[in-house]
Amino acid sequence: MAEVSLCAGRPARGPEKPERKRLRISVSCLFPASWHFSISPVGCPRILNTTLRQIIVIGLLAAAFFLLYYSVVKYGFRDKKLHRYLARVTDTEATDTNNPKLNYGIMVDCGSSGSRIFVYWWPRHNGNPHDLLDIKQMRDKNSKPVVMKIKPGISEFATSPEKVSDYIFPLLSFAAAHVPRAKHKETPLYILCTAGMRILPESQQKAILEDLLTDIPVHFDFLFSDSHAEVISGKQEEDDAVVEVHIPGSENKEAILRKRTVGILDMGGVSTQIAYEVPKTVSFASSQQEEVAKNLLAEFNLGCDAHQTEHVYRVYVATFLGFGGNAARQRYADSIFTTTVFRNRLLGKQIGMTSDTPYLDPCLPLDAEDEIQQNGQKMHLRGTGDFHLCRDVIQPFMNKTNETQTSLNGIYQPPVHFENSEFYGFSEFYYCTEDVLRMGGEYIAAKFIKAAKDYCATKWSVLRERLDHGLYASHADLHRLKYQCFKSAWMYEVFHNGFSFPVNYGNLKTALQVYDKEVQWTLGAILYRTRFLPLRDIQQENFRGNHSHWRSFSFVYNHYLFFACFFVVLLSILLYLLRLRRIHQRMLHSGPSPSLWIEEGLPPPKIPGAL
């Protein structure tokens, strides 16, 4: 409840000169006390008569702007996007070398035309195994990147490798001047040589690297080991590979560029599988081939929204029963038994029937012995360890045909873009290259052939001795040793002859795990079957985000609601008083001024002597 009263002086006393008129304002609210304002129209400055409304409006606008600015400054930093923006801004600031919690790293890029050094820094890891290091490029006191380049390229010292250290010392001195001295011993240094070094003979490459590995630790305290200086492959220099994709079901639309996927080769004991994305629409040699291809080309959407085609993939998947390592060996042994028995009957010989006249098997290690049993009969085998002959005798088991775009068993296989593809080989592809040959990882056909050939030609007694001395993988056993020669030839023929990968194909990696995780078909199955679950998480996250946003909005603005209401009420009162003042002024200009009393809820009193 509010009470407002205005007094314009006392009642007139006859001819007496009216005394100075005084405007009294009394406002009573539901506060502990009444607020009283006393304003004299005559004594007030003129400015109140002309621009008071403007001053009030300007003041209210200023107050509103202050509230908006204060809320943005105080609470705007809680927005994640703003945080990311600020993080990008801090990337351009000078690195705080006085902060002992920062770590540093040095990278030297030895290119064909010159060498450059880069210095990086990162804060301590937050402890979350799912997060990577937050690595940033170091900036000096002037906020400029800590980078230095020198010429010529390091390959110019091919004939004088002893001068390489002197050539690269200025770069390392430059980095040492920027990295805090106390951090030198824990700062890793990497020297990676690219195209210029790759064209040099391997002997010259080794001489240059050897000089660096010998001299640098003498003059600098950086963390620098033998593996920190190397000639990297061209692939390591590339960014994330992309591929042009024609989205299935949208052939009329333009192709999109998407990060390249990897193909999978998996050879088990019984079967062999191949799977890879077919990014472009394929053609078929015949209608029969097209019908077969329908069962081998799968189109599926890994996205949680069925209407979005961003994650739609066209994948070729084929499984070949009987082409696994053990099943293939069994087919090969059955063929040996059947063919040998037939020849013995035809020629009247006893090859393989006794240990003294064994069947000479090129796919067994030299002098290794084995037996084949069928229908109560036993056939004795003895290895000759001839890897190339083994390859020749097992080629017919690929069941290749002359029809185009076919693989094992004459099954349709869409073309593989060998220049822009990458494959991983699992199971027997890995065991065959790693367990005995100890060369798992990057597959190079020439090296694999040499290693397999040497293994096959090694005497069985020597192989067993090596096994006893632990020179092979811990899970390698006599079965692995005995059939390693055959499986090496089989893996090679399946990959190059069956699937038609060129001998110089350099993008196959044999692996048991990828990023420390075992890769199985079950992973793909659960990935596909749970593709819609993110919808639930997204909805929950949106709900939490909206709820959190509303709480933040309420927290930021609702506690200002009182102040906003106060200003609105104050403005209303002031405008109301100005209105009354204007009425009062008009009454003063209209003639003799009787006393005026205005009180809320009461009529004005009658003035004695008035007509």
Q: Which residues are catalytic?
A: 237
Q: Has 271 been labeled as part of a binding site?
A: yes
Between helix 325-347 and helix 387-394 the angle, nearest 10°, is 90
Cβ distance 321 to 270 under 8 Å?
Answer: yes
What does 485-526 look like in DSSP terms, one character per residue?
HHHHHHHHHIIIIIS---TT---EEE-SEETTEE--HHHHHH
Q: Has 520 been labeled as part of a binding site?
A: no
Tokens of 250: 């949208």
Tokens of 94: 């000078």
Q: Has 273 been labeled as part of a binding site?
A: yes
Q: For residue 280, what is the DSSP state?
A: S
Question: Strand 297-301 relative to strand 359-361: parallel, antiparallel, unpaired?
Answer: unpaired
Query: How many CB atoms are located within 10 Å of the residue 123 CB?
Result: 13
Question: Strand 103-110 relative to strand 229-231: parallel, antiparallel, unpaired?
Answer: unpaired
Whole-number Å distance between alpha carbons of 471 and 456? 16
Whole-number Å distance between alpha carbons of 383 and 325? 18
Tokens of 561: 């609601």
Whole-number Å distance between alpha carbons of 67 and 5? 33
Whole-number Å distance between alpha carbons of 539 and 210? 58
Is the CA virtual torsion 194, 195, 198, 201 positive or negative?
Answer: negative
CA-closest candidate to residue 41, choices 583, 572, 571, 570: 583
Whole-number Å distance between alpha carbons of 242 and 555? 46
Question: Which residues share a beta bridge with 274?
Answer: 265, 318
Q: Has 601 been labeled as part of a binding site?
A: no
H/E stretch holding 169: helix 164-178
Surface-to-core class of residue 439, CB atoms within 10 Å of its CB (0-12 exposed, 13-18 middle, 19+ buried): middle
Cβ distance 111 to 196 under 8 Å?
Answer: yes
Cβ distance 279 to 246 under 8 Å?
Answer: yes
Q: How far is CA 201 from the centre of its chain?
A: 36
Rounded to whole angstroms, the maximal C-alpha distance in the chain is 163
Q: For residue 461, what is the DSSP state?
A: H
Whole-number Å distance between alpha carbons of 57 and 72? 23
Whole-number Å distance between alpha carbons of 506 and 422? 9
Q: Has 462 been labeled as part of a binding site?
A: no
3-state secondary structure of 466: helix
Tokens of 311: 């994650």
Output b/e per residue, 574-587; b: 16+ Cβ within 10 A: eeebeebbeebeee
Q: Which residues are annotated as a binding site for ATP?
A: 269-273
Q: Which residues are annotated as a binding site?
A: 269-273
